[in-house]
Amino acid sequence: MIQLLTDAWPTLWPILAAIAIILAVVPFLGLYMTFIERKIAAYVQDRVGPNRVGPFGLFQAVADGIKIFLKEQIIPDHVYTVLYFIAPTFSLMTAMFALVVMPFGPVATDYKEGFRFIVAPGIDIGILMMVAISSLSAYGIIVGGWASNNKYSVYGAIRSCAQFISYEIPLGLSLLGVIAITGSLNIEKIVAVQSASLLDWNVFWQPLALLVFFTSALAETNRLPFDLPECEQELVGGFHTEYSGIKFVLFFLAEYTHIVTVSFLTVLLFFGGWHFPGLPGPSGASLVVLLLGLLVLLIKVSLVVGLIMLLRWALPRFRFDQLMGLAWKGLIPLALANLVGVAVVLTLGLPKHLLLITAALPVAAAYYSAAKFNQTVSTESSLRAGLARKQAVSYE
């Protein structure tokens, strides 16, 4: 056994080091993402935000974490106890496990001995594995809502089920164009294809796929304007109404982990990952170059995370019928149109940047939807006015 571990150690220690980094950083990141989000909310709402605990309020997240751990663990007597405890754990486990194939720093496609910024490099079905694992997080919400034995929680779980089923379809379709031209499901290879120049970043020839992917991924994270499973105004707290203390925090740590995953995927698939004009690739690079690549990747991811947080405080929540309509009547047709465009370009051997034309499709769809909405409002106003005239009573 000892000899086996000794022989496997050169391969094993980089994996253990990457796992240790993820397990150490993600919970700490979750704490401070709540602090950053409160600051962004304060900025949007013209407030100050947390500023009392520590310099500039930087220790507020630590104080909140300590408070949560010391809270009394209340277990309602009407819940299904085993599933009630399993649900938040399952949500966090699936969110963390999806990071196994996610490069969180520069990774070369020609793998060598030593540490790499990824737990499992060279997985040829990396995207498929990540999407499949991430989709399992819906079970945590569904089981948590059902195990709570509470009508509000059950409604939230049902909404979550419908939302995940609907938005998984455009999410997968949006990735097919990138996969088709790259010819690989390996995330590292997709990033390497974008390394030639700035114009080779996928965002410059797949803008429609980026829009569909980002919108669908935002719905997968249950963030505003897609937070129907926990709609406070209608469902008290939705699927987590009966949860408190550390169990409640596990659900939201899973949500913030999903935000990080979505942000990394967006950058890796569409914005060149760790590549930047003038910066060498990771193959045979020095430590300084690798650290610069890591810095570039983290800056890009931070910008996407900031955008996701800003959207939460800038957009109103959809009604449930609007949520379903956006997926089935909007995103799925747009994703199919993008896929057809990619097929035409590949079949005829045309330049892939012709697909920039597809960026006009969502604009046209928005104008069409606005025109239909205005027509509906005008018709309803005319009907109300006519009905009011008929019901008017003359006192002359």
> What is the domain partition of the chain in residue ranges?
71-356
Closest CA relative to residue 116, chosen from 48, 3, 21: 21
Q: What pLDDT, on the 0 to 100 scale, is given for residue 92?
A: 85
CA angle centred on 345, ends 344 and 350, rounded to 5°? 135
pTM value is: 0.86
Distance CA 180, CA 70 (A): 51
Residue 319 per-residue DSSP state:
P
Block mean pLDDT (10 aa), the chain, length 396? 70 80 83 86 86 85 83 81 86 85 82 75 84 83 84 82 85 89 86 84 88 88 76 72 82 84 91 85 78 90 90 81 84 89 86 80 77 74 69 52
Q: Which two tokens stand for residue 95?
A: 């969110």
What confidence tens digit (pLDDT) does each residue in 23-39 have?
Answer: 888 878 888 888 888 88
> How crowded is residue 8: how many other Cβ atoms within 10 Å of its Cβ?
11
- The total of other beta-carbon atoms located within 10 Å of residue 23's CB is 12
> Quick check: 244 and 179 in contact, CB under 8 A?
no
354: CB partners within 8 A, 6+ apart: 205, 345
Residue 140's nearest CA partner among 29, 255, 234 is 255
Whether cis (ω within 30° of 0) applies to the bond prior to 76 is no
- Phi/psi for 225 (5° steps) reads -90, 25
Residue 299: per-residue pLDDT? 92
C-alpha count within 13 angstroms, C-beta hemisphere, residue 24: 6
In contact, 232 and 239? CB cutoff 8 Å: no
Residue with tokens 């659900």: 251
The Cα 266–Cα 263 span in angstroms is 5
